[in-house]
Structure formats: C-alpha cells, structure tokens
Structure 1
Amino acid sequence: MHGDASSVFHLHPLKRCNLRCLHCYSNSSPQATELLSPQLARTVMAQAARWGYRALAVSGGEPMLYPALASLLHYGADLGMSTSVVTNGLLCRTRKDLATLRHADTVTVSIDGLVAQHDHMRQRTGAYEGAANAVRRLADADACVWVACGVTTANVDDIEQLAANAACWGARGIAFHLVEPAGRAAALPREALLNDDARLLLYATVALLGALLQAAIDIRLDLIHRDTILRCPALIHASPPPPDALPAQAVPVLVMDTDGKLVPVCHGFHDRFALGYAGSHADLQSLWNAFALTTLPGITALAIRALDELRRPAAPQVINPGDWLAGQSHRDVPLFWQPHPARASAPAGFRPPQ
C-alpha cells in the first residue's frame, strides 16, 4: 500500500453512546439510533486503503456498542491498516470486552481531568474510576493503551496529575486536545474554553511536562505554533497537492460519518466541502475524482485565507490546524469558488443503510 504513514481514515459507525457528555462533538447519547451498516463501512474502508490511507481510527458514539466492531478491526488489519479505537472505557469490564478491544493496535480511553471534573463532564458518578480501571485492565493485558484528555478551563489544572496517574496505570501515552465549541460543546459557557493566552500557557506546560515525564509516558498536544505552520503551509492544506497525488496525500485525514458522509480534514468540517455520501454512489473513485476537480481547490483557497489570518499580529500563537481550518470553513467561502451542488446535502430521498 502506498501513502503517507500519517494518513488516517476516521470511521464513526454509530452515534449511540452509554453517556451523554457535555462536550461531545458528535452529539452522541443513549437515545441516538443512527447506525452505519458494516457492509458499507467495509466497502469504504477498502477504497480508503486503495487511496493510500494507512490507519483506521474508530470512534463514535461509543464503539463498544457497535456489534461489528471486532470484524471491522480485523478487516482493517487485513487491508494493511493500523487500527485504533477511542472509548470511554466504561464498557471494558469483562474478558470478552478486553478481547474485542485487543483486536485494535491502539486503544485510547478518554479521561477529561481528575475525578470531579471528569465525572461532571461525563454526567456520570464513577465515570473516572471506570475509565481508570479500563486503562489498568488494558495495560495488564499488554494492550497499547493511551489516555486522551479534552482540556477546558475547569480541568486544565488537572493535567499534570492526570499524566502521572496515566503513567502509573500503565498507559503508553496521553494526548491532550482542546475542547472546541462544536456539537454539544457549543452549549458550554464561553469561559469554559481556553482563550489564546491560556492555550499558549498550555502549550508551554505540556512541553515541560513531556520533558519531565519522558521516561515514564509519551505526552502529546494537538496544538502547533503558528510559526511552524507559516513555514509549512501544507499543514493546513494551504498549498495544492501534486497532480498525481493519492487521495491520502492530498487529504491526509478523511472522516466517514454515521450517515455515510465523507468529510475531509476533520469531523465538523463544513458539509459544502464534503466528498458526498458513500451510500448513494456505487463508484467511490468517481466520487473522489469529482471532489478533486471541483472541491479540493476550494479547500486550498480557504486554507490560503486561513494562512493570511495567521499572519496577522492578533492571530493566536498556537492552534490546532484541523480545528482552525474547520472554523474557517464555517465562516468563509472564497468568492471565486462555488461548491458542487451535491456537496451541501444528501441526495433527495437518500437514507443511510442500516
């Protein structure tokens, strides 16, 4: 298989979850019923592999509630993809649960701060202890387990202790990411989200924490200094890909939502930039060809404007490239580019297969 080793196909096969978290970007909940058919998931996974995507990342909703999770992970491995699952950990209780997750090369358990903050964000007493126990069980089973923490102003002071705890539990690493006002998190009070100064402080803090704990645990943060992006515009798609680039080289992150919609760059990128709906197209290569011709240039134009925004003195010092570009996608469309009519919505009468 060809393609960039960092290229990832994100699969969201369901919206159902055993929790209803305050910051959920996908608005998942116990009441959600949307479910992607395993057949369609496998069809698109196979095409993604041919397009050069080297990694499969499964989230949701809660992936442990998806009946075909183990078979999709097996299929991804057969396609030559590395596989990963993001879970809240509360359904990792039995040997059977462990066996399902062990099909993934990496399992990431979401833990958003220490006890009080995590349980509050997850709206469930005991959620922290359940997630911590999942990390311990996975580590004891010799799984490659990580912790992911969504950072807000309420839990930013917890990150040092959480990193130390994760190391003690046996996690290989911990990844911090900024909670953004998307999905259910859009209803969080503005003061819950880190401002530019707080993000810069977090950037420095995580760098120091990584140096202090480098022998115990790998620490990552999804923020990049704007000077790095200005030196390498491709980080936010601000330079067009070569004409012969594989899809995975042109768009290193491709997301498949529960309704079959294929979205470039990151979850939450505006629908007008979507490739389309996989379930309504028998020929996925033609879907990409149309996207590359009519929509990919629009993403490049959007990214160039986003790059100009970063050059302004008042621009943030550190950003998450995907989230930054996604924010721009909702605010601005280059006037000289018109989206393909099929990008904005599903075809009339289309329903995702169950």
Structure 2
Amino acid sequence: MMLPEISVVRLNVQLTKKCNQRCVSCNSYELPSDDELSLDEFKSAIFQASNLFHLKNIAFTGGEPTLYRHFKEVASYAKGKAENVSVTTNGYYCTSEERIRELIEAGVNRFSFSYHGVGTHDAFTRLPGSEARLRKAIKTAARLRESYPHLYVKVGTLFDGQMSSAGGRNVFWTFAAKQESICTSSFWMTASLHSQARSCRKTSA
C-alpha cells in the first residue's frame, strides 16, 4: 500500500541550551551546553529532513539560539532548504538595526520575540534591563519591515496575574499598536500564570 505524501510544516531545531536569562519557567541555563552539535552536524540533519519532507519552516530555538556560535551560517544553509527560517529569541542581542539586518541577510525572515509580561518581564527573566532591550528589539524589527516587506515579526507574551487584568492587556496592546509595521494578528498569547510556570519547573526537576 502506498503511503500518502507527508508535508512537514515546521522543523524545530534546538541549536543550544545556552541562555543569558534565568526565566522562572525554564532551567535551560542550568543544563550543560558542551554537547552542542557542530555546524556540519546541524547541516546534515537539516539536509536529511529536507530530503524526506517538504519543509515550510525551519525554526531555530534554544536556550537563546542567537548564542550559537555558527548561527548565521546555519541560518544561511537552512534558507535553501525551507520556505521560511524563523528564530525564537529573547531579543537581548537584537537591539541594533545592524544586528537584525545581519540575521535577515543570513536567511532569517521570521522573528518571534518572547515577552513575559509588561512591567514584570525583568522579574520573570531575572535579568535587569531585559524588558527595555526586548522592546527596543521589537521596535527595530518592526521598522525594518519597510525595507524587508516579507519579514514576519511575532511577539509572544505570558499572561500573569497583572497581564490577565484589563489594564495589563491594554498596556500590552497599546505598545503593540504603536509598532505600525506589525499586524496585531502577528501577536500570540499564552495564558499562563507565573505560579503555574514555577510549579511546572518544580515538577520536572
């Protein structure tokens, strides 16, 4: 019997466990990172997957994927194997237009920024100043859509007690609306409480 053709919509590739943040919902930064695959090993895995399936999106995750030492090289390779190349990032190292342009020119055409609560982001990441840098990264990426019309920018936010309130949501959507190059449909939300995130981490420990 002939099996139906399978189309893979998204291939997730965890490039590294390294992360500069210490989010309460994640222990990636505590895990050893000396077992990272080499650039050639990642290329081989992507090559094999692309030969088996039609890849619509290769999504790089972490840790913080931009900390992978060969990120631009692997993104460039992935560009030729899928319709889209995306990166899920905390935005800490993407505050300058020059840096984001580097990633776009390397092959990334989708950015997904992780935003863990307006006014509570720093407490969640346990990295002072991380919210200010993230907001700057989002604004910079939004502006660059004028030069790169096919660039897709998405922001994911964690709804804690403050964000679940009408006031908290209004603060977030006011910020979102000011980023004129980002469609509101590009924003996704995850309904979750900080306390739930901590519980999950304790359970997995």
TM over 0.5: yes
The answer on whether the counterparts of 2:117 and 2:160 sit within 8 Å (CA) in structure 1 is no
Aligned match of 1:277: none
What CA distance in whole angstroms lies between the structure 1 residues aligned with 2:196 and 2:103?
28
Aligned match of 1:127: 130
What CA distance in whole angstroms lies between the structure 2 residues aligned with 1:94 and 1:182?
34
Letter in 2 for 1:186: C
Aligned match of 2:118: 114
Q: Aligned with 1:57: secondary structure?
A: strand
Say whether 1:105 aligns with 2:106.
no
What CA distance in whole angstroms lies between the structure 1 residues aligned with 2:196 and 2:76?
32
Say whether 1:161 aligns with 2:174.
no
Letter in 1 for 2:182: A
The answer on whether the counterparts of 1:17 and 1:28 sit within 8 Å (CA) in structure 2 is yes
Q: Deviations over 1:5-41 (max 9, x none)?
A: x6211011101011111112xx222875242221111
The aligned runs of 1:195-344 (5 Å cut-off) are none
Give the alignment's TM-score, normalised by structure 2: 0.77
From 76, 80, 83, the equivalent of 2:82 is 80
Q: 1:152 offset after TM fit, Å?
A: 3.4
Over aligned residue pairs, what C-alpha RMSD do you find?
Answer: 2.8
Q: 1:59 offset after TM fit, Å?
A: 1.1
The answer on whether the counterparts of 1:22 and 1:185 sit within 8 Å (CA) in structure 2 is no
The answer on whether the counterparts of 2:58 and 2:82 sit within 8 Å (CA) in structure 1 is no
Q: 1:123 offset after TM fit, Å?
A: 0.8
Say whether 1:149 aligns with 2:157.
yes
Q: 1:95 offset after TM fit, Å?
A: 4.2
What CA distance in whole angstroms lies between the structure 2 residues aligned with 1:11 and 1:184?
25
Instruction: Rate the CA distance shift 1:153–1:50 in 2: closer, same or farther, 3 A.
Output: farther
Q: 1:185 offset after TM fit, Å?
A: 5.8
Say whether 1:176 aligns with 2:189.
yes
Aligned match of 2:25: 23
Instruction: Rate the CA distance shift 1:128–1:85 in 2: closer, same or farther, 3 A.
Output: same
Q: 1:151 offset after TM fit, Å?
A: 2.9
Give the alignment's TM-score, normalised by structure 1: 0.47
Letter in 1 for 2:200: A
Could you tell me the percent identity over the aligned residues? 21
From 9, 12, 27, the equivalent of 2:11 is 9
Aligned match of 1:198: none
The number of aligned residues is: 185
Instruction: Rate the CA distance shift 1:3–1:104 in 2: closer, same or farther, 3 A.
Output: farther
What CA distance in whole angstroms lies between the structure 2 residues aligned with 1:30 and 1:100?
29
Structure 1 residue runs without a partner (length 5+): 191-267, 269-354
What CA distance in whole angstroms lies between the structure 1 residues aligned with 2:9 and 2:68?
24
Letter in 2 for 1:176: M
Instruction: Rate the CA distance shift 1:187–1:77 in 2: closer, same or farther, 3 A.
Output: closer
The answer on whether the counterparts of 1:17 and 1:30 sit within 8 Å (CA) in structure 2 is no
Q: Aligned with 1:29: secondary structure?
A: helix
Q: Deviations over 1:114-147 (max 9, x none)?
A: 12x2111111222211111001111112242111
The answer on whether the counterparts of 2:50 and 2:81 sit within 8 Å (CA) in structure 1 is yes
Larger deviation, residues 76-85 vs 95-104: 95-104
What CA distance in whole angstroms lies between the structure 2 residues aligned with 1:36 and 1:183?
29
Letter in 2 for 1:131: L
What CA distance in whole angstroms lies between the structure 1 residues aligned with 2:103 and 2:164?
29
Instruction: Rate the CA distance shift 1:56–1:22 in 2: closer, same or farther, 3 A.
Output: same
What CA distance in whole angstroms lies between the structure 1 residues aligned with 2:63 and 2:99?
17
Instruction: Rate the CA distance shift 1:183–1:111 in 2: closer, same or farther, 3 A.
Output: closer
Q: Aligned with 1:177: secondary structure?
A: strand
The answer on whether the counterparts of 1:57 and 1:84 sit within 8 Å (CA) in structure 2 is yes
The answer on whether the counterparts of 2:96 and 2:140 sit within 8 Å (CA) in structure 1 is no
Select the structure of larger CA radius of gyration: 1
The answer on whether the counterparts of 2:14 and 2:60 sit within 8 Å (CA) in structure 1 is yes
The answer on whether the counterparts of 1:101 and 1:107 sit within 8 Å (CA) in structure 2 is no
